[in-house]
Amino acid sequence: MVLVTSRFWPLADERSLRAMAVARRLAWAGAAVTVLTPQWDRRWSAQMRLDEVQVVRLRGAPRGGLASLRWYFHLARWLRQQRPQVVGILGMQQEAAVALAAARRGGWPTVLLADADDPAAWSQATLGRRVAAACRQAAAVVAPSARLAEELARFGLARIEVLPWAAETPPRPDALLRDAARRALAGVNPDLVAPPSLPVVLAVAPLAPPQPLEPLIGAWPTVVARRPDARLWIVGDGPLRLRLYRQIQDLDLRFRVLLPGTFDSLQELCHAADALLVPGASLAPPLALVEGWAAGLSVLAPRSPLGEALRSAAGRVYLFPPGDRAGIAQAVLGWLDHWQPPLPPNPALGAGRGPLPKAGQPAEERCSPAVAPQAPPVSGDPQPPAVPPSLLPPWSPADEGQRLATLLRRVAGMPPSPSCHPAASPRAASGRSGQ
């Protein structure tokens, strides 16, 4: 199986992390996965093996001009020469149209893995309508949410299957894991030193339009006027980095608002933080929201259908008007009014909240925080919010990989895999910035 993605490791943005997770989960399902991705930096090797995944980097990169044309040319040529059995494409942008054109000539099936921003990109890009028309030729489309599937159907796409994202981050049971995660992150980046008494709000987003990050930073002076101990970590990278850093300096928020770069895993970030702030509305839950929700973080999100669905499922969700500084500050302060530092583990309950999984327990019950049994919460220890089925499916990452692999094999006319490899424990966040 070939997975085409415009961004992959060592880049560490939303699409890169998702592409790595998809490739790894397909490998757990017994698929031989080859990732096709641009060679963004000439110093990167043209071929390598990352865990169980073969990575092939082709010349060029979708940065515009000749670099983009070079990437599209080498992508089409590689597919024509190798003639894969089935191709999965992460995102439905120009490289999807190129790969679909090659598939139409070569005769192999193609499955599109939709991103939440694909419909907006089609509406704004010069060739967006043409790309959307090309995507209608796919054998199947996989969407991470029902709302995104409905939006894709409005553009004429059919054969859409909804496969929600399964989280890899386990629930944070007590203060020990939170403190350990903070120490680990501080060892990677000294700016991230955060004593246990400090409340940390985590935001994960590309530092690029259309993310409303300037109103978020602009709201923080109001927050620190009442709570000088509040910290905001904005994890990501992009062209707005210098502009946002200057805004932080102008508002005298240095060390209160941090731009620590990118991380190749979200697990330790979610365990170190106390709340997750989603800057902008989306047609599908961002990867950081899924992982943070599984870790048990409170959520601050803009008013949107997704935000309203979260709040209807759990009480520890705080909504604000999109892009409104005063509304963001009010939501953060409302959360801080209810926030308490996590307590150390209760000896009566052992190291965590609930019993350890038993040997032979089904994968769904072992891996999914949505259905994991929990003991009653310790008094004063805020419990993680209930998880709605629409956000976290009742299956593990390995089970999700099996479902996706089964779909790819079905459209390719291949027999199903006899078994699914057991899921390895997700790697801890190394904190390495994508270079």
Looking at residue 232, what is its pLDDT? 97
Q: Are 87 and 79 in contact (CB under 8 A)?
A: yes
Q: Are residues 147 and 189 part of one domain?
A: no
- 366: in domain: no
Q: Are residues 14 and 162 part of one domain?
A: yes
- 112: in domain: yes
Q: Are residues 160 and 11 part of one domain?
A: yes
Looking at residue 156, what is its pLDDT? 92
Looking at residue 346, what is its pLDDT? 62
147 Cβ contact partners less than 8 Å away, ≥ 6 residues apart: 283, 284, 305, 306
- 435: in domain: no
Question: Which domain-ending residue is among 313, 338, 363?
Answer: 338
Q: What is the pLDDT of residues 93-117, one digit of tens each?
A: 999 999 999 999 999 999 999 999 8
Q: What angle do CA 48, 54, 57 make, to 5 degrees?
A: 60
- 331: in domain: yes
Looking at residue 377, what is its pLDDT? 35
Q: Are residues 162 and 35 part of one domain?
A: yes
The beta-carbon contacts of 246-254 under 8 Å, at least 24 apart in sequence, are: 247/214, 247/217, 247/218, 248/217, 251/217, 251/218, 251/220, 251/221, 252/221, 253/217, 253/220, 253/221, 253/224
Q: Are residues 264 and 132 part of one domain?
A: no
Q: Are residues 69 and 41 part of one domain?
A: yes
Q: Are residues 100 and 8 part of one domain?
A: yes
Q: Are residues 239 and 114 part of one domain?
A: no
- What range does the domain containing 272 cover? 175-338
Q: Are residues 208 and 162 part of one domain?
A: no
Report the CATH number that the domain containing residue 95 is assigned in CATH. Answer: 3.40.50.2000
Q: Are 97 and 136 in contact (CB under 8 A)?
A: no
* DSSP string for 285-330: --HHHHHHHHHT-EEEEESSHHHHHHHHH-SSEEEE-TT-HHHHHH
Q: Are residues 297 and 208 part of one domain?
A: yes
Which two structure tokens, joined as six digits, stand for 147? 């709302």
Looking at residue 299, what is its pLDDT? 94
Looking at residue 394, what is its pLDDT? 63
Looking at residue 348, what is its pLDDT? 53
Looking at residue 392, what is its pLDDT? 65
Q: Are residues 246 and 97 part of one domain?
A: no
Q: What is the pLDDT of residues 1-27, one digit of tens each?
A: 999 999 999 888 888 999 999 999 999
Percent of the chain with pLDDT over 70: 83
Q: Are residues 191 and 259 part of one domain?
A: yes
- 146: in domain: yes
Looking at residue 203, what is its pLDDT? 96
Half-sphere exposure of 70 (CA within 13 A, CB side): 13
3-state secondary structure of 164: coil
Parallel, antiparallel, or unpaired for β 47-50 and 34-38? unpaired
Q: Are 303 and 320 in contact (CB under 8 A)?
A: yes
Q: What is the pLDDT of residues 180-203, one digit of tens each?
A: 999 999 999 999 999 999 999 999
Residues of the chain with pLDDT under 50: 349-390, 419-435
Q: How many domains does the chain have?
A: 2
- 57: in domain: yes
Question: Residue with structure tokens 């010069």?
Answer: 126
- 257: in domain: yes
Question: Which domain-ending residue is among 338, 355, 372?
Answer: 338
Looking at residue 417, what is its pLDDT? 60
Looking at residue 121, what is its pLDDT? 86
Question: Which domain-ending residue is among 308, 338, 368?
Answer: 338
d(CA 284, CA 117): 9
- 276: in domain: yes
157 Cβ contact partners less than 8 Å away, ≥ 6 residues apart: 132, 135, 136, 138, 141
| Phi and psi at residue 42, to the nearest 5° | -65, -20
